Structure formats: structure tokens, C-alpha cells
Amino acid sequence: MMMHMRMKFHEQLDALTDRLALMCRLAGEAIETATDALVNADLPMAERVFDLNERIEELRGPCEEQAMALLALQAPVARDLRQVVTGVHLVTDLSRMGGLVQHVAESMRRRHPEHVASGEAEELLSRMGRVAAELAGLAERVLRTHDPELAAEIGRRDDELDDLHRRLLTLIQDPSWIGSIPAAVDITLLGRFYERFGDHTVVVGRRVIFLVTGEQLNP
């Protein structure tokens, strides 16, 4: 009986992990789609982002319910407890990633049919989007493998995104920049959305390291 309960518990944990990894994969697909929409001023592509974010939110409820049921019914301890609690926190992180991507799509939709950015600013935003999508891919792999070395790699790759963000801000603050004030506001916000998306993937990695080692990492 006890063995059966343990097997059932770990089956449910695996199902929770699969849902979390799917949320992460959808967020990565959404950030890539949103970036394509931004660069191409493609409204139908932007609308697809909203569909992807809706799928992320549809997974949030079942993940939270499953995690709470595991806590209430199984009373896990040690690493099992860490895994369930980590899952609860990850649901929030992954949902926020979806929300940030939606903000990118909303910015593009608001300015359509015009481009939100142009020239070097658009190129930097495009590169930020590509790096953000790669970070989401890394985070998904970390969720599936629980590999702490891969989790640490997310932090290193996020440094590249932070560097692009600094370059973007430097560009629009340069007195020689000829863009309008509304464009500067849009670009500033977009850069922040991408930067925060990357930060959440780093948090995913840190949570997995905590799950594996039981040690909290400093930000």
C-alpha cells in the first residue's frame, strides 16, 4: 500500500513537472512570435501571442490545484516537499513570463500599422527577443532534467540579454538619436519587458538549483 502511494505521488509530481515545462515552452514560443510580430509589424502574428498566453493561463489553474492537492493529501517531506513548493512558485514565474510577452504584443498592436521601432533600436529589440526565446528553451530543459549546471547556464546567458538592454537604453538616451518621445517610451518599455522575461528564466533556474541542492542562491 505504501509503495503504491509513493508511486502515485511521483506520477503526480511528474505530471506537474510536464505541465510546468509546457508553460515554459509556450512562453518561449510566445516571445519568439511576439518578436517576429514586432519586427514585421504583423498584426495576425501578434494576435497569436494572445492565444499562446491564454494557453499558459489555462495551465496555471491545474498546476496550482495539483500542487496544493499534493501538499494536502500526501504531506511530503524533504526533497519531495521542496519539489511541490518549488512547483507552486514556478507557476507564478511562468505566468508572469506569459504576461510580459503579451505586453510586447500589445505594444505592437497599439502602433499598428506603423512599426514600434526602427533601425538600430529595432535590431536590438529583435536580438533581445531571440536571446529571450533561447533562455526560455534552456529553462524548459532545466525543468525537465533538473540539471543544476544547465540552470546556472541560464544566468550566464541572461548577462547577454542585460548587455543588449543597456545598449538599447544608451542608444535612445544619446542626444543624436532622432526618434520621437512616444517611440522612446515604447522602446524603453519593450526593453524592460524583454529584460524582465529573462530575469524570470533565471529565477526558474535558481528554483531548480534549490530543488536539487536545498540551497538558496543569492540574486
Q: Answer yes or no: is 186 within a domain.
A: yes
Q: Answer yes or no: is 218 within a domain.
A: no
What's residue 78's pLDDT? 66
Contact 191, 170 (CB under 8 A): no
pTM: 0.91
CB within 8 A of 61, min separation 6: which ones?
A: none
Number of domains the chain is built from: 1
What digits encode the pLDDT tens for the residues 73-118? 666 666 777 787 888 889 999 999 999 999 999 999 999 999 999 9
Q: CATH number of the domain that 140 lies in? A: 1.20.58.220
Q: Answer yes or no: is 60 within a domain.
A: yes
Q: Answer yes or no: is 118 within a domain.
A: yes
Q: Answer yes or no: is 168 within a domain.
A: yes
Which of 99, 91, 87, 98 shows the shortest CA–CA distance to 28? 98
CA separation for the pair 42, 68 (Å, rounded): 40
CB within 8 A of 126, min separation 6: which ones?
A: 35, 38, 39
CB within 8 A of 77, min separation 6: which ones?
A: none
Task: Say whether pLDDT at 152 is over 90.
Answer: no
What digits encode the pLDDT tens for the residues 182-204? 999 999 999 999 999 999 999 99
Grid cell 515545462 is found at 21
Range of the domain at 149: 2-213
Which of 43, 169, 161 shows the shortest CA–CA distance to 109? 43
What's residue 4's pLDDT? 55
Supply the mean pLDDT for the chain. 89
Contact 91, 65 (CB under 8 A): no
Q: Answer yes or no: is 164 within a domain.
A: yes
Q: Answer yes or no: is 93 within a domain.
A: yes
CA separation for the pair 71, 73 (Å, rounded): 6
What's residue 70's pLDDT? 76
Q: Answer yes or no: is 36 within a domain.
A: yes
